[in-house]
Structure 1
Amino acid sequence: MTSSTNANDAVERALLEAAAIYKPRAGEIVPLGAVHIKLQKAGFSAAEINAAFSSMEAKGWITGSQSPAHFKLTEAGFAEMPGAMSPTVEDVERAVLEVTAAYTRKANEIVPIMGVNMKLQEKGYRADEIADAFESMIAKGWVVIAGTFFKLTPEGAAELA
C-alpha cells in the first residue's frame, strides 16, 4: 500500500463516520453537502474528499442518487460503516418491549403505538422494521392492536421479565 492509499483510506473511513450520523441503511440516501462540509471541518481538502468519493464508488460502496445533493449507500458500503448492523425482527421486538416498559409492565393496559414508534425511530429503527416487529409480536400472541393503541397480552407482559 502506498501512503496515498493509506491517506485515501483515512478519508473514506472519515466519510463513513460522517455519514453514520444519519443512521443510513443500505439503499438509503445521505446528504452529500453535509458530509463534505463535516470532512472539510475535520481538515480534509476538497480534492481528498472527492478522491475518496470516487474510490468508494469504484469499490461499490456508494452510488449516485436521483438528486445530485445526495449519495446512496450500497450493501457493501453499509457493511464498511462503523457499527453498522441491520437489526433482526427479534432485536426490534426487544426494543418495542423496552420502550413499552416505560408505559406499563402489565397486561391489558393501553399503550400508544405512535409514542412507541417515535421512541424507536429516535433510536434509529425504521418504520418498516417496527411494523414487522409488531406483526411478529401479534403472531406470537404478545400484543393486541386496538385502534391507535396496543395492549400487551399476559404472554407479552411475561416477555418483559
Structure 2
Amino acid sequence: MTEEQLDFEYFRDTQLHAVDFDTGVLDTIRDVTGPSGKKYKQRRLNVGSINPDGYSRVWCRGSLRMKHRLLYFLYHGELPLEIDHIDRDRSNNSIHNLRSVTRTENNIGIRCKGRKKFTQEELHEICKLIATKSLSDDSIAKMFSCSRIAIMGIRHKRRHKKVADMYF
C-alpha cells in the first residue's frame, strides 16, 4: 500500500465528515480543545486550496494531497496511477468528471494541441523572465500561450539549450 493510500484511508477514517460526489465538496470534522479546556467538534466546509497548476489540494495526515485523487479513492475504493479530468477543467472534481486512465491516454489531449514553436525573440524574452525569478512557470506559459512543461524544458535546459545557456 502506498503512502498516498495510507493518507487517504486516514482522512476517510478520522477527518471526513461529509462528501458530495456530484460537486466534489468535502467537509471535515475534528476534535478541538478550546482555551478554557472545553472540548468541541470543529467542522470545516468545502476544504481544499488551489495550487499554481489549478488543482485543488487537501491536507491528509500532514501531507498535501490532490483532491481529485482523494475523491476518486473515496468513491471507488482504489487508487489508479493516473486520474483524468474528462472535461480538462481541473477545478471540476465531480466524480462523473474523473476517470482512471493510463499515462499515455492522459497526455493525448496535451499532444493534440501541438508543440509551440518559439521565435528567437520569444526564447530570449522567456529566458529573461525565468532568470529574474519574478514569475512562475505557469504565469510565463500563459503569457506565451504554451504549456508549463515547455517553460520547464527551457529552464532545465532540456529544450533550446543554446539560448538558455546564455541566461543561466
**TM-score of the pair, normalised by structure 2:** 0.31
Judging by fraction of residues, say which structure has more helix. 1
Question: Structure with the greater relative contact order (CA < 8 A, sep ≥ 6): 1 or 2?
Answer: 1
Judging by fraction of residues, say which structure has more strand. 2
